[in-house]
Structure 1
C-alpha cells in the first residue's frame, strides 16, 4: 500500500476506514483506527491527531458515534444506504433480465462496496447470479445511453433490430431501421424504447436488448403531438399501465367479470388503475383502461376465472382465440 501524506489525506483515509470496517455491531477502538491508518495507507498517527480528525469529520456533518458517547468505540452511524436498502438494490440487479450478466456482476460489486466489510458476508447469495436469466447484448448500456441522448436532443436514430434464434443468440431481422425516439420504459423485467416509425401514425415498442448498431441521426424527431391520440409528452407510468406487456394500440375501456379470489392478482398487475366492484359473493367487475391487444394475455392467464364483458370486439377476439386453441387439440 503506497504511503499517503498530508493532514487532509489523513482525514479522508480515516473516513474511509470508518465506512469500510465499522458499523453499529462493529465499533472500532482508537488502537484499531491507528492500525488501519498505518496498514492501509502507511500513515503513522497518534491518538490526539486521530481524535482531532474525528472531531473535524463531525464538524463536517459526518454521523459518527464516538467512544465518549457509546463507551464501545467509533463507528459510522449513517450511510448513503443501509444494509436492507443495499440488499434490495442488489437483488433487483440480480433478477433484472435486461442487464447483461457481466454488467450485473459489476453493479453488484459497486453496491457491495457501499456497505461495510461485514455487509459483504450477508450477500454471498450473489454467487447464484449465473442461474438467473440475463440477456447477452453487451452493448446494452451503451445503447441505452445513446437512446437517452437522442431523446434529449430530439433527434432520430437508426439501428438494427434483432430477434433471438433457437441458438439463444440475436439475429438481425431489419437493418437501418429509422425511428423517432420518445421514451424509455422499464416494464416486464425488460427495457423498451417507445418510438414512431415514419410510415405509420402510431407508437411502437422495441426491446432495447434486441437493438444493435445504433446511430444518432442529424434529422429531428417527428413531433409526438402529430400522432393521433398522443399528448405532447408521455406519462411513462400511465403509459406502462395502459399497455400491458408493452403491446401497442390505443387504450380502451375494458370490463371483465372475474372471481373475487383474483383481486390480489389484479392489484399486483394494475394497482390503483383497476376499478373492482363486487357483483355477488364470488364474482366482481374489473374496469380497466388498457390496450386490448396486451390485455388478451392477462385474460388467458386466468382462463375460466375471467370473462370479457366489454368491448364486444375483444370478447369476439377471445372467442376466436379459444376456437383456434381448441382446433390444435382436436383428435384426428
Structure 2
C-alpha cells in the first residue's frame, strides 16, 4: 500500500472514531472496519486498523509539548499469543456532551440571534461530538419566540470588535418599531440618522446584547441593542491596511458624510478617562450590577427592605457587591449602588415585597408611580374601555 493510500486509510479511521465513538460508545477493531465499509465502501483488515491506530496514537504523542493537542485516543490492550488486540477504542472529544448541551441551550433561548443563524450554529456545534450526542438533541429543536430579525448580527459584532481593537469610532444606523410592528431605521431631517460613537464593551443582560459606548461631548455612557444596529462601519479616514479589503462606494460616501457634514474630524475612539467619574477603565461587572435594566443615568446608593426569602433574587439582580444585613426575624435590609431609574422599575416589579427606604427622592418617585397606578386601577367610577374606544 502506498504512502498516500495509508494516509487516506488513517484519516478514515480517525473520522470513524470522531463520528461514531465517545466514552460511552467504545468500538472494537471489527466495528471500526464495519463503519469504514459502510461510510467509505472500503475494506480494511482489522490488523491494518490496529496499525493505523498505533500510528495515530504515536502521532498524537508528538504534540504533547504543544498547548493544544488535535485529538486523544483511548483504548484497552488485550494480550494474545499471536498478536495483541485493541478494544474499547474511542476518541476523547475536546468538549463534553454536557458542555455542548449548555452551549446549545444558550443558543436556543437567546433572543438576539435569528432563527436561521441559530439553527446553523447548532449544526456546527453538533459536529464537535459523536453521532450519539446528536441523537439526544432531536427533542429540543424548539426555538424561543420573539427572536431577532437581524441576520447581520455577526457582521455587526465583527465591526464593533474591529473598532475597539483599532481604537476607532463606530458608525451605524438604528432601528425603531412602530405600532404596526415593522422595524424602520431612525430618521433625522428626512434621511437615515447616522450614529457615531466611541465603542468600549459588548455586554449581555436579560438575554439581550448591548453596545456600551459614548458620544463626543457627553459625560455618560450610552447603550444600544446589538440586534437593532444596522450597517455598522468602523470610522477610519486613513489609508486601508493590507488585508483589510476595499471599502464600497456606499461606505466611502458615509465616511465623507461623517467627516464633512457631521464634522467628526477625529476618527480615534474617545478615551474612557474623558468621561467624568469613570476613571481610566470601565469596571464592566460593577457597571452591569448598577445598570440592571441598561438605563444610562448615574448610580446612587439605595437602601431597601425585603423579605429574607428574596436574598437569591437580590443577588441575581445586583451581584455579590450588595450589602445584606438582617432586619428583624424574617426581613433583610439591602444597600446597593444602582441606577435610580432602574431601581424605580425594579421596586415596582417586586412592589408587594420590597420597600425602598432611601434616597428620599427615589422613594417619592415610587410613591407617585404607585399613586398613578392606583388612579388607573382603583377608581370607583372606573369605566372599562370598549374595543372601539
Give the structure-1-normalised TM-score. 0.91
Of the three residues 66, 74, 83, the one matched with 1:65 is 74
Of the three residues 99, 124, 143, the one matched with 1:110 is 124
Shift of 1:258: 0.8
Matches of 2:289 and 2:122, distance apart in 1: 29
Matches of 1:168 and 1:74, distance apart in 2: 57
3-state DSSP class of the match of 1:168? coil
3-state DSSP class of the match of 1:228? coil
Question: Are 1:230 and 2:243 an aligned pair?
Answer: no
Of the three residues 153, 177, 190, the one matched with 2:166 is 153
3-state DSSP class of the match of 1:151? helix
From the CA coordinates, give the structure whose radius of gyration is larger.
2
Of the three residues 187, 211, 214, the one matched with 2:232 is 214
Matches of 1:76 and 1:165, distance apart in 2: 56
Matches of 2:40 and 2:132, distance apart in 1: 21
3-state DSSP class of the match of 2:47? helix
3-state DSSP class of the match of 1:248? coil
Of the three residues 185, 193, 209, the one matched with 2:203 is 185
Partner of residue 28, structure 2? 29
Partner of residue 92, structure 1? 106
Give the structure-2-normalised TM-score. 0.79
Partner of residue 101, structure 1? 115
Matches of 1:140 and 1:48, distance apart in 2: 51
Q: Is the contact between residue 248 and residue 294 of structure 1 (CA under 8 Å) also seen in structure 2?
A: no
Partner of residue 375, structure 2? 327
3-state DSSP class of the match of 1:244? coil
Of the three residues 249, 261, 275, the one matched with 2:297 is 249
Question: Are 1:134 and 2:138 an aligned pair?
Answer: no
Shift of 1:229: 0.9
Shift of 1:251: 2.1
Equivalences, count = 328
Q: Is the contact between residue 174 and residue 228 of structure 2 (CA under 8 Å) also seen in structure 1?
A: yes
Question: Are 1:165 and 2:174 an aligned pair?
Answer: no
Matches of 2:86 and 2:4, distance apart in 1: 29
**Bigger Cα displacement from structure 2, 101-110 vs 16-25:** 16-25
Matches of 1:91 and 1:248, distance apart in 2: 30
Question: Are 1:144 and 2:162 an aligned pair?
Answer: no
3-state DSSP class of the match of 1:68? strand
Partner of residue 264, structure 2? none
Partner of residue 8, structure 1? 7
Of the three residues 344, 363, 367, the one matched with 1:315 is 363
Matches of 2:279 and 2:15, distance apart in 1: 49
> Where does structure 1 lack aligned partners over 5 or more consecutive residues?
none
Alpha-carbon RMSD:
2.2
Matches of 2:211 and 2:227, distance apart in 1: 10
Q: 1:295 to 1:7 in 2, by over 3 A?
A: farther
Q: Is the contact between residue 99 and residue 134 of structure 1 (CA under 8 Å) also seen in structure 2?
A: yes
Partner of residue 266, structure 1? 314
Matches of 1:331 and 1:107, distance apart in 2: 55
3-state DSSP class of the match of 1:127? coil
Shift of 1:314: 1.3
3-state DSSP class of the match of 2:30? helix
Q: Is the contact between residue 74 and residue 92 of structure 2 (CA under 8 Å) also seen in structure 1?
A: no
Matches of 1:207 and 1:275, distance apart in 2: 30
Matches of 1:6 and 1:247, distance apart in 2: 63
Shift of 1:72: 8.8
Q: 1:276 to 1:40 in 2, by over 3 A?
A: same
Q: Is the contact between residue 5 and residue 43 of structure 1 (CA under 8 Å) also seen in structure 2?
A: no
Matches of 1:44 and 1:77, distance apart in 2: 21
3-state DSSP class of the match of 1:304? coil
Q: Is the contact between residue 94 and residue 132 of structure 1 (CA under 8 Å) also seen in structure 2?
A: no
Matches of 2:52 and 2:203, distance apart in 1: 46
Partner of residue 327, structure 2? 279
